[in-house]
Amino acid sequence: MKYLHYMSGSTMPPTRALDGLLALSALMTTDIQRFEREHGLTTARVHLLWQLGAAGPSTQRDLAEALRVTPRNVTGLVDGLVGSGHVTREPHPGDRRATQVTLTAAGSRFVTELQRSHQDLADRLFGDLPEDRLVAFVAVLDETLERFAGLMGETGEQEGTAS
């Protein structure tokens, strides 16, 4: 297996579970980075496009809150996405102090492709699992995410930055 460096060799179930999560994370990161390279986008820009696809036209402040970055970070991300033709930046129709970011036709096509790719991967990974096993997996995953988020809060982890 290519990702053996994530395998501790432990037979203890908690450690084996963590080893598996780390190996899966490495594989998914490689796949995501390949997708981003193919489209000439950074992870942060893809996250912003995904958010716009989910929420629709948004102010830069709303995007900053949703992405958990500073408004200044969003300004840089939007600058890049305006330059690549994925979004437009216009005055907000109801608040002249705010700027609204909207997907262009090219941005909408990209988000549609991203959503389709996401659904295809979900179907390929989990589509043939029995429902009871998938429900149990999702429950354990949700609990693990919640626990890890709690641990991150305990370490004083701060909001991320983006480029």
Q: Using pLDDT thresholds of 50, 70 and 90, give the confidence band for residue 49.
A: very high
- pLDDT > 90: percent of the chain: 69
Average pLDDT over residues 69-75: 94
34 close to 14: Cβ distance less than 8 angstroms: no
Q: Where in the chain is the domain with CATH 1.10.10.10?
A: 42-153
95 Cβ contact list (under 8 Å, min separation 6): 59
Strand 87-92 to 95-103 pairing: antiparallel
- pLDDT > 70: percent of the chain: 88
**Range 42-153: architecture per CATH:** Orthogonal Bundle (1.10)
Strand partners, 59: 100
pLDDT of 143-160, one tens digit each? 999 999 999 886 544 444
Helix or strand or coil: residue 3? coil
pTM of the predicted protein model: 0.79
Return the closest-CA partner of residue 103 out of 155, 51, 160: 51
